[in-house]
Amino acid sequence: MGLPDLQLSLPQVLAALGIPLAVLYTFTRLSRRRSELPLPPGPPKRFLLGNLLDIPKEFPYVTYTNWGKEYDSDILHVQAGKTSLIIINSFEAANALLEKRSLIYSSRKQSTLLGKLVGWGWIMSALPYGDHWRRSRSLFQRHFNTHKDAIHHPRQMRFVRGYLLPKLLEGSDRVDQIVRHMVGGLSLSVAYGIRIKRENDPYVHLGEAAVDGLVQAGTPGRYLVDSIPILRYIPSWFPGAGFQEEVRRWREFQEGLHEKPFHEALRLIEESEGAQSSFVATCLGNISETSPDKQYRHELIKDVAAVIFAAGVDTLAASVEAFFLAIASHPEVRRRAQAELDKVVGADRLPTIEDMEELPFITAIVKETLRWVLALPARVPHFLTEDDTYKGYHIPKNSIVVGNAWAMLRNEEDYPEPDTFKPERFLNADGSLNPNVRDPATAAFGFGRRMCPGKDYAFSIVWLAAASVLSSFDVVDVTDENGVTTDPGKIPFRTGIVRHPDHFRIKFKARSRTVEELIDGEEERFQG
């Protein structure tokens, strides 16, 4: 059977070519018109360097907020070498870009320092948007979504009651160390089923060291090697390449966090030696021996387990530390919270997560803590995969996009007197929660497809810690790291991606003998 004769007339040929040519012409015109639009406003650029010298290494989110006011814009353009940074300072812009256009704003740029040198390329928050990221997030969500959150409450309560409260009762005043050990131990238990040592747990210390490197290496603009990648090849002995020695140390800790607790979990599962339920045990149990992607899923489980552990050691711990700083510096808030707890919970038991609906002021304290201190003020930067426009501005493809949650949660229209700690801003006149006040979680836990999938888990542990501590203790004294009594409102914050208050000490006193007995009983039952 022969092919049909495809003789076409000239008009037919022109018509056939005309449609794709018209599409190409239209696309070219639109692209040219888009690129001819101005970039968002921002500080003046220097030749070659752009704004590299303008981006502060410490507290950049504060500078971004001030620039937004200076240039009267909720979106800014900052040039770091060849890289365009787009700073988003408002909920409106974040919703329009990071939420509604999340398909093109959900990727991540691979950091030379953090990914290629220190080796954190496997961590979920650094993965580019794609199938591997989706599978990682899906695996995480299956264990930490809203419906599964209640599964973790008994273990959260066990650590708050059996570790945190006894430590405060015995007179330990290094709140930051206690919180990190408690939250790190909880995360270790949830992820791997490993029981922590009550003092100096090696896994918790490893997690702290690894995440410290993650925070330092991941701070945007802090190291030139991210803007000038060729610097990665400079040897450590060369002047100005001292970061190479830091890289070596950070990579060692990163590899330890990624591998050591996972292999300990495998040993516990195999030997059934005091094995607890855990993320690793559950996920491995769901893999068939004949599964064609068994090895891939095994590595995926290892990666996500390490994410659970690392997040607890740092960002979650920072939020709990922030609560302690807030109540230490606001005695009137503390007294009102205790009055609510005494009315609802009474003096003969400790609060539980089931009391949350009856304790709106405690919930308001947690919301205000997330807003006022904000553990991740600038979030992890997004990466734009296509050219875009917004409010008449051109946003170039391959831009790094920073959602500046600090500016959003300091917006005076949403939060009058934003620098003041005021939990009552989230309440109605009758003391109930006001749903019309913007929930700070909309910025505190990220945006769009990159929103933290563990936000409900995080909120519940901060809430349990807040309710339990306020129900059990009065604050006696607040001192600095050297033991000198200080105004807690003047305690500075350390720089980095995660916002930790500087080292401070709080002395607590049990509110009654009954509380002491309740805590002693919880400590006896605690096994890590």
State the chain's mean pLDDT as an integer: 89
In Å, what is the CA distance from 307 to each residue of 43, 219, 261, 449? 36, 18, 12, 17
How many other C-beta atoms are found inside a 10 Å radius of the C-beta of residue 501? 20
What pLDDT is attached to residue 2?
46
- Asked if pLDDT for residue 98 goes beyond 60, the answer is yes
SS3 call for 252: helix
pLDDT digits (tens, 9 = 90+) for 36-64: 899 999 999 999 889 988 988 888 999 99
What pLDDT is attached to residue 34?
54
Q: In the structure, what pLDDT confidence band is assigned to residue 35 with cuts at 50, 70 and 90?
A: low
- Asked if pLDDT for residue 450 goes beyond 90, the answer is yes
Tokens of 138: 């899906």
Query: Which residues make up each annotated binding site?
Result: 452
What pLDDT is attached to residue 488?
75
- d(Cα 137, Cα 131) in Å, to the nearest integer? 10
What does the DSSP assignment read for 293-312? THHHHHHHHHHHHHHHHHHI
Please give the model's pTM, rounded to 2 decimal places.
0.88
Give the pLDDT mean for 246-255.
Answer: 95
> Which is the CATH superfamily of the domain at 27-525?
Cytochrome P450 (1.10.630.10)
486: number of CA atoms within 13 Å, CB side? 17
Residue 29 CB contacts under 8 Å (≥ 6 apart), including other chains: none
pLDDT digits (tens, 9 = 90+) for 297-341: 999 999 999 999 999 888 899 999 999 999 999 999 999 999 999
What pLDDT is attached to residue 18?
55
Query: Which residues make up each annotated binding site for heme?
Result: 452
pLDDT digits (tens, 9 = 90+) for 1-33: 444 444 445 455 445 555 544 444 444 444 445
